């Protein structure tokens, strides 16, 4: 293109701004001017036609100039005279796009009008895909014959172009044959809606289950997101994307009402795909499959999305269901409700960390090291602090120790926390250990203490819960306390911990000290309740429910402040 500035001035002078903007929003006459309700703001907004198109199309200035020029019929000058090679490459790409469009029509015809297609339609109907859906998403069928598509295309396209298309392959002898056979075919379009590739889903048990087009002059997997061409308007309106793995998941979500869904078509989200998505939104819900590969893909996607400044939530569907299966079994309304309630990514990761063995210090260290790389990517210092509090509560790690470990790892640019006695630590916090000793040895008030603990349930959820429960039952039974008999009822790790506590050198216990320890447990319970309340509040429930949650939060905060000096 000639100098962008001078051409842009020409376009701006000649462009019919009412015509251009009117294609996106409804304009009303206001005095001598036209005004429209901007999709991004609650009130009318004027401005430059190029700025408007840049915002609507999520494109850069030169691209906006070209779009406006084309809409207004203004010829766009070439940057420079193309070389013969560049002309050949451009012609090749145009022919490949044309070939893919014709191939899609071929696959649709095979699905609609052949005996094999009838079996494929039955399979699709069983999955809930009726004729309207097949037309809407351009779904077709590749027949089982080895060269039916090849014979259809060969009269119009030369062999080198057919080989470059990815629609055919060569055998060991150099003979061409159809790449896709006996598969449901999903056309893959680029963001402008041009079909550039296909994904094929096998019928029956053939492997691989999914087969995609290879890289070609018009298709690079890392630069394409399935359904993005259809999702553009929904992405603009809702300002967040739903990211799923495959075609069926994307189709199911779109039919359920999540028109802002896109699929990475695999288990590895690439940086170009993230940059492409960032043109439309920086808010995303990752809803990958719940299997091992899907969980690993979720974690990889989180890392790259956080690096590019996305606000990320994660939807892990119950019952280990993928989106397609969940929607078919539970319905669209159930899916959209869970989508709305998707937790922040750190909540998802903490949940994954809690599945690790947290009964030992070494297990806690592994869990912290699993979370650390993600926590370090949180750009906001206040948010990092809040998540450190949540992690300490969920993993039952002393918060000051955790914060210091995270701070030191960040300052030294390490991706893991080094082993520290304070973090690995001894099981049970000081207040817990002291109360256990009192329940075993404080003859003057151990029964009274057991009654208080039973009434308040303050020991519930603690790492030492089973030791407390055994001591409370023994104290309230009316029989003499036999520590050895009690220990025999515990697991090996808990038994060792009990005797470790009983052999510690400690001062003579008092009821005042017991009260202080009970208050410490009460504060920890309030902190846990606050963390749970915060998760419910972030789900953004409606009206009365939200008010109730906020009132409960304020009450707990007041209680926490009142006991802060204890």
Strand 183-189 and strand 140-142: pairing?
A: antiparallel
Following DSSP, what letter does each residue of 209-265 receive, concatenated? SEEEPPPBTTB-GGG--BTHHHHHHHHHHH--EEEESSHHHHHHHHHHT-TTEEE-S
At 301, list the tokens.
Answer: 């996607």
Q: 79 in helix, strand or coil? A: coil
- Terminal alpha carbon distance of the chain: 73
Kind and range of the H or E run holding 404: helix 399-411
Nearest CA to 388 among 309, 553, 398, 379? 398
Nearest CA to 139 among 250, 234, 222? 250
Strand 311-314 and strand 283-286: pairing?
A: parallel
Q: Between the CA of residue 551 and those of 538, 539, 558, what are the distances in Å?
A: 15, 16, 11
Report yes or no: 548 and 556 within 8 Å, Cβ to Cβ.
no
Determine the topology of domain 223-342 in CATH. Dna Topoisomerase Vi A Subunit; Chain: A, domain 2 (3.40.1360)
Q: Between the CA of residue 251 and those of 65, 142, 254, what are the distances in Å?
A: 34, 19, 5
Class of domain 4-71: alpha beta
Q: What residue ranges do the domains of the chain occupy?
A: 4-71, 84-219, 223-342, 349-424, 444-562
- Please name the residues in contact with 361: beta carbons below 8 A apart, sequence gap of 6 or more: 423, 424, 425, 426, 427
What's the CA angle centered on 20, arms 19 and 22, to 5 degrees? 65
Predicted local confidence at residue 413, as pLDDT: 64
The pTM score is: 0.65
Predicted local confidence at residue 25, as pLDDT: 64
Distance CA 8, CA 15 (A): 10
Beta bridge partners of 284: 241, 312
Distance CA 383, CA 388 (A): 9
Predicted local confidence at residue 422, as pLDDT: 44
* Per-residue pLDDT tens listing for the chain (566 residues): 445 557 777 777 777 777 777 677 655 555 555 455 454 444 454 457 877 888 777 777 888 888 888 888 788 776 667 788 888 988 999 999 999 999 999 999 999 988 899 989 998 998 889 999 999 999 999 999 889 999 999 999 999 999 999 999 998 888 999 999 999 999 999 988 999 999 999 987 788 888 999 999 999 999 999 999 999 989 988 999 999 999 999 999 999 999 999 999 876 789 999 999 988 899 999 999 888 888 888 988 998 998 888 999 999 998 888 999 999 999 999 999 999 999 988 888 988 888 887 777 778 888 888 888 887 777 677 777 777 777 887 887 766 667 777 777 666 666 666 554 444 445 557 788 889 999 988 889 999 999 999 999 888 888 888 999 999 999 998 888 888 888 888 888 888 888 888 887 667 888 988 888 888 888 878 877 877 777 777 777 777 887 888 888 878 777 766 654 43
Phi, psi of 167 (to 5 degrees): -85, -20
Nearest CA to 143 among 178, 186, 102? 178
Nearest CA to 418 among 349, 356, 372, 351? 372
Distance CA 74, CA 55 (A): 21
Per the rule left: phi > 0, alpha: psi between -120 and 50, beta: everything else, 239 is left
CATH code: domain 84-219 is 3.90.980.10
The alpha carbon of residue 292 and the mean position of all alpha carbons in its chain are separated, in whole angstroms, by 15
């Amino acid at each position: 293109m000639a100098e962008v500035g001078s051409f842009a001035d020409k376009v701006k002078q000649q462009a019919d701004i009412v015509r251009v903007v009117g294609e996106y929003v409804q304009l009303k006459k206001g005095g001598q001017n036209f005004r429209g309700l901007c999709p991004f703001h609650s009130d009318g907004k004027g401005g430059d036609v190029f700025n408007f198109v840049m915002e609507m199309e999520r494109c850069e200035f030169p691209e906006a100039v070209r779009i406006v020029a084309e809409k207004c019929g203004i010829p766009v000058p070439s940057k420079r005279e193309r070389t013969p090679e560049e002309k050949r490459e451009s012609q090749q790409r145009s022919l490949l796009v044309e070939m893919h469009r014709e191939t899609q029509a071929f696959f649709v015809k095979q699905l609609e009008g052949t005996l094999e297609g009838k079996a494929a339609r039955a399979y699709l109907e069983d999955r809930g895909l009726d004729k309207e859906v097949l037309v809407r998403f351009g779904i077709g069928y590749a027949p089982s014959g080895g060269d039916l598509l090849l014979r259809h295309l060969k009269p119009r396209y030369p062999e080198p172009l057919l080989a470059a298309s990815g629609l055919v392959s060569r055998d060991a002898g150099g003979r061409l044959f159809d790449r896709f056979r006996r598969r449901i075919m999903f056309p893959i379009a680029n963001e402008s809606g041009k079909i550039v590739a296909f994904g094929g889903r096998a019928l029956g048990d053939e492997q691989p289950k999914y087969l995609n087009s290879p890289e070609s002059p018009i298709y690079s997997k890392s630069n394409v997101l399935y359904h993005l061409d259809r999702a553009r308007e929904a992405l603009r309106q809702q300002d967040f994307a739903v990211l799923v793995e495959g075609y069926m998941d994307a189709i199911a979500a779109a039919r359920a009402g999540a028109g802002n869904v896109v699929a990475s078509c695999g288990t590895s989200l690439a940086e170009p795909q993230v940059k492409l998505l960032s043109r439309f939104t920086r808010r995303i819900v990752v809803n990958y499959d719940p299997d091992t590969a899907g969980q690993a893909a979720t974690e990889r996607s989180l890392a790259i999305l956080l690096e590019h400044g996305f606000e990320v939530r994660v939807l892990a569907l119950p019952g280990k269901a993928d989106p397609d299966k969940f929607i078919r079994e539970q319905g669209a309304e159930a899916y959209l409700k869970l989508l709305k309630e998707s937790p922040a990514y750190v909540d998802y990761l903490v949940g994954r960390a809690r599945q690790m063995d947290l009964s030992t210090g070494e297990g806690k260290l592994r869990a912290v090291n699993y979370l650390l790389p993600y926590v370090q990517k949180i750009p906001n210092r206040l948010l990092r602090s809040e998540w450190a509090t949540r992690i300490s509560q969920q993993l039952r790690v002393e918060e000051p120790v955790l914060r210091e470990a995270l701070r030191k790892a960040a300052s030294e640019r390490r991706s893991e926390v080094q082993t520290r006695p304070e973090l690995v630590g001894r099981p049970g916090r000081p207040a817990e250990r002291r109360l256990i000793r009192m329940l075993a040895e404080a003859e003057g008030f151990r029964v009274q203490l057991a009654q208080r603990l039973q009434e308040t349930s303050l020991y519930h959820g603690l790492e030492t819960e089973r030791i407390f429960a055994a001591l409370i039952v023994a104290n309230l039974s009316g029989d003499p306390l036999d520590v050895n008999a009690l220990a025999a009822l515990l697991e090996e790790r808990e038994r060792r911990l009990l005797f470790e506590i009983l052999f510690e050198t400690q001062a003579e216990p008092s009821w005042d000290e017991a009260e202080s320890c009970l208050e410490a447990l009460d504060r920890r319970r309030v902190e846990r309740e606050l963390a749970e309340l915060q998760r419910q509040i972030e789900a953004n429930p409606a009206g009365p429910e939200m008010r109730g949650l906020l009132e409960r939060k304020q009450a707990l905060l007041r209680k926490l402040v009142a006991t802060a000096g204890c």
